[in-house]
Chain A
Amino acid sequence: MSKDNKFMGFLKSFKWKKYINYIIIGGATIVLAILAATGVISDRSDRVLLEKIAISMILATSLSLVVGFLGELSLGHAGFMCVGAYLGGKIAALLAAPLGSGMLTLVISLVVGGLAAGLCGFIIGLPALRLKGDYLAITTLAFGEIVRTIFQNTSAESFGGAMGLPTPIFSDRKYFFVICFVMVLITLFVIQNLIRSKHGRAITAIRDNEIAAKATGINVTKYKLVGFIVAAVFAGFAGVLFSFTASSVQSSSFDYNYSIEMLVIVVLGGMGNINGSLIAAALITFLNTKLQTSLEGDMAVLKDLVYALVLIVIVVYSNSPKLKSFRDKYNLHNLFAKLSKNKHESDDTKRWDVVPTKIKMDALLSTDVVVNDPKPDKPDKAPKDSKEDK
């Protein structure tokens, strides 16, 4: 009886919203693993698709940390992935003889690729301390292109050069996508917990107002570097996984268009919303791959055309200041609220996945701020929120 109550209590106090993304991805991973074991997913193209989805989920989550939470525009994310893919792939190929091509080799190459990419993240994080906005964006873009050019011109023995690095072999290739999804879970776990921690609050504070953050005693240097390094490490992991799945590691696959594709995913998913990034990553990768394989010849261009049009329409629709009143009237949030008649007041402070939005500096300065309150207060909403804050 008491045990039962405890369990019910646990169920009640369990914050479903907080963990919903782990549950969904974890569940999907288990289901997919079972399907693979029973032989339902045996088609190579299906597996490759799943691997691609997992890799772009990792990339989108890590880029989301830099763009959505740290607020720095990065156009060189593919560069970190490139470093991870080449170094991880090379290490895996070297270790294949002494260690075999199983989990151990994969883990070691992941560590090496991730660390190398993290080092690059540190290097690119240094100019980020001095540069702002668009200047930083072009620097990251330049970094990505530099890395790519260097790997492209390596000798054939070292990193394959123009021919590309041959893919390392993984013994259980059939289950590789399960490993990719486990990596997604790990990425999500680390980045989400980082964002929800004190350090994550510091990172978002820097995004919202760097000067104010500095004034409150946040070590801007440290947190900017942390943001870049963590994002780079996970991009490196994605690169290592990519090196195992691609038919060969070609430097041309890491050009700035790939970085831009990732940025598009993050922006479409919603800035500073990891779940949105994950969904967008899965959807866009799925559509891209499916359309690429089903449309042939001249029709393949049609895909790009539709993609471009959809991109423009979505961004203009969801960002245009003139359409704001229209958006407020007709949006999914309201629709769901109407359908499920119990009207929840939208409460941003309770939604963990959305870190408190931008604070207006003037408003902040004109009101008394409780110093020890960890929650940044929102003066324009204060009366409504106050009764719900417990």
Chain B
Amino acid sequence: MDFLITFLNGLSLGGIYAMIALGYTMVYGIAKMLNFAHGDIIMVGGYTILVFLWINPIVAIIASVIFCMLMGIVIEKVAYKPLRGASPLAVLITAIGVSYLLQSIAQMAFGSAPKFVVIADLGTLKIGEIAIGYSTIITLACSAVIMVGLNLFVKFSKTGRAMIAVSEDKGAAQLMGINVNNIIMITFAIGSALAALASLFFLLKAPTMTPTFGALPGIKAFTAAVIGGIGSIPGAMVGGLLLGVIECFAQAVPAIAPYTDAIEFSILIIILLVKPTGLLGKKRREKV
């Protein structure tokens, strides 16, 4: 029974990682940049929920999603857009700068002490011996819906197909009449919205928020995206779920629990050694 509970917990954690990883992977696929500030969008979402929680939890959640979308768009316009065409390393450093900026603004506004953000006490579901938090179930259900929805959106909607086109060949997409700038903006908005939702599910699991909250989930989700093959949407989902399950099982065994992070990162290295572009990543031919 313990096995099943751990597995379900792992899947729900993996669902959250997958949501964040989707943000990384979509931005990477379309803008060809590592958005190091993506993890901090989670933190922004968490604090936005805290600010609007006095009205109504639902309002807070919607406000957080909208605010994060706007945040993502503003960051893209101000920090990344001027650097389009510059070296990837310059963009990376700017992203790191944005990450520091968000963290320090949050610290100025809310202080460095952890804040408690209790959205709702959902209780636990008991079926015989199995006791699962409702938060876990909601997270699982929501992340499943989001993933399926996103896949359908990308595959069948006009915007989604434009996104695929831009990720494959920016120049050709532009020739086909796709507004590349708009597509990049939409990608950032979707990624940031997913990060806001991720912060909601994190808060349902453990209701504390600090200015550096986003750093570790951000890195983990980035790892998940790379395991799945960065740039690939199904890859991010697979990588996220895999990482979440591994993390929960490692933490369930007391002897190896302190080494959880090390185990996750070792699995990343091993997978990359066997498949250098991740599980579902495309191999790129290099042309001379």
Residue of B nearest to A303 (CB): B104
A:249-277 near B, CB below 8 Å: 256-257, 260, 263-264, 267, 271
B85 at the interface (CB under 8 A from A): yes
Q: Name A316's contact: one of B94, B222, B276 (CB within 8 Å).
A: B94
Interface string of B140-158 (1 = CB under 8 A from A): 0000000000000000000
Please indicate the chain B residues that have their CB under 8 angstroms from the CB of A42 in the complex: none
Please indicate the chain A residues that have their CB under 8 angstroms from the CB of B131 in the complex: none
- For residue A193, give the distance in angstroms from its CB to the closest CB of chain B: 26
Q: Are A127 and B269 in contact (CB under 8 A)?
A: yes
Please indicate the chain A residues that have their CB under 8 angstroms from the CB of B59 in the complex: none
- For residue A360, give the distance in angstroms from its CB to the closest CB of chain B: 13
Residue of A nearest to B96 (CB): A260
B117 at the interface (CB under 8 A from A): no
Known: A149-B258, A149-B262, A312-B101. A319 touches B90 (CB 8 A): yes
Q: Are A361 and B83 in contact (CB under 8 A)?
A: no
B:241-277 near A, CB below 8 Å: 258-259, 261-262, 265-266, 268-269, 272-273, 276-277
Residue of A nearest to B227 (CB): A138
Please indicate the chain A residues that have their CB under 8 angstroms from the CB of B222 in the complex: 138
Residue of A nearest to B98 (CB): A312
Q: Are A308 and B34 in contact (CB under 8 A)?
A: no
Could you show 21 A-B contacts with beta carbons less than 8 Å apart? Answer: A73-B92, A130-B272, A130-B276, A135-B226, A135-B276, A135-B277, A137-B34, A138-B268, A139-B269, A256-B219, A301-B107, A302-B104, A304-B100, A305-B104, A311-B93, A311-B97, A318-B90, A319-B87, A321-B86, A323-B82, A361-B288
Q: Are B262 and A311 in contact (CB under 8 A)?
A: no
Q: How many chain A residues have a CB neighbour from B under 8 Å?
A: 49
A:305-320 near B, CB below 8 Å: 305, 307-309, 311-312, 315-316, 318-320
A332 at the interface (CB under 8 A from B): no
- For residue A205, give the distance in angstroms from its CB to the closest CB of chain B: 15
- For residue B143, give the distance in angstroms from its CB to the closest CB of chain A: 23
A315–B266 CA distance with the chains assembled, in angstroms? 33
Task: Enumerate chain A interface residues (CB-CB to B < 8 A).
Answer: 67, 73, 127, 130-135, 137-139, 141-143, 145-146, 149-150, 152-153, 211-212, 256-257, 260, 263-264, 267, 271, 298, 301-302, 304-305, 307-309, 311-312, 315-316, 318-323, 361
Interface string of B75-91 (1 = CB under 8 A from A): 00001001111111110
Q: Are B100 and A320 in contact (CB under 8 A)?
A: no
Q: Name B261's contact: one of A73, A149, A361 (CB within 8 Å).
A: A149
Q: Are B108 and A141 in contact (CB under 8 A)?
A: no
A2–B60 CA distance with the chains assembled, in angstroms? 87
Residue of A nearest to B281 (CB): A135
A interface, by DSSP: helix, strand, loop or mixed?
A: helix
Q: Are A311 and B96 in contact (CB under 8 A)?
A: yes
Known: A135-B277, A304-B100, A305-B108. A320 touches B83 (CB 8 A): yes
Q: Are A142 and B269 in contact (CB under 8 A)?
A: yes
- For residue A259, give the distance in angstroms from its CB to the closest CB of chain B: 11
B223 at the interface (CB under 8 A from A): yes
A257–B79 CA distance with the chains assembled, in angstroms? 20
Q: Are A271 and B89 in contact (CB under 8 A)?
A: yes
Please indicate the chain A residues that have their CB under 8 angstroms from the CB of B204 in the complex: none
A316–B105 CA distance with the chains assembled, in angstroms? 20
Q: How many chain B residues have a CB neighbour from A under 8 Å?
A: 48
A-B contact count (CB 8 A): 132
B103 at the interface (CB under 8 A from A): yes
A309–B101 CA distance with the chains assembled, in angstroms? 7
Q: Are B79 and A127 in contact (CB under 8 A)?
A: no
- For residue B114, give the distance in angstroms from its CB to the closest CB of chain A: 16
Q: Name B82's contact: one of A135, A302, A305, A316 (CB within 8 Å).
A: A316
B230 at the interface (CB under 8 A from A): yes
A191–B283 CA distance with the chains assembled, in angstroms? 35
Residue of B nearest to A132 (CB): B276
Q: Are B79 and A312 in contact (CB under 8 A)?
A: yes
Please indicate the chain A residues that have their CB under 8 angstroms from the CB of B97 in the complex: 308-309, 311-312, 315
Closest 9 pairs between A and B when the two form their complex, measured CB to CB: A142-B265, A308-B100, A311-B97, A304-B104, A308-B101, A319-B90, A149-B262, A312-B97, A319-B86
Please indicate the chain A residues that have their CB under 8 angstroms from the CB of B112 in the complex: 301
Please indicate the chain A residues that have their CB under 8 angstroms from the CB of B230 in the complex: 134-135
A320–B105 CA distance with the chains assembled, in angstroms? 25
A361–B219 CA distance with the chains assembled, in angstroms? 36
A134–B100 CA distance with the chains assembled, in angstroms? 21
Residue of B nearest to A210 (CB): B286
B:99-140 near A, CB below 8 Å: 99-101, 103-105, 107-108, 112
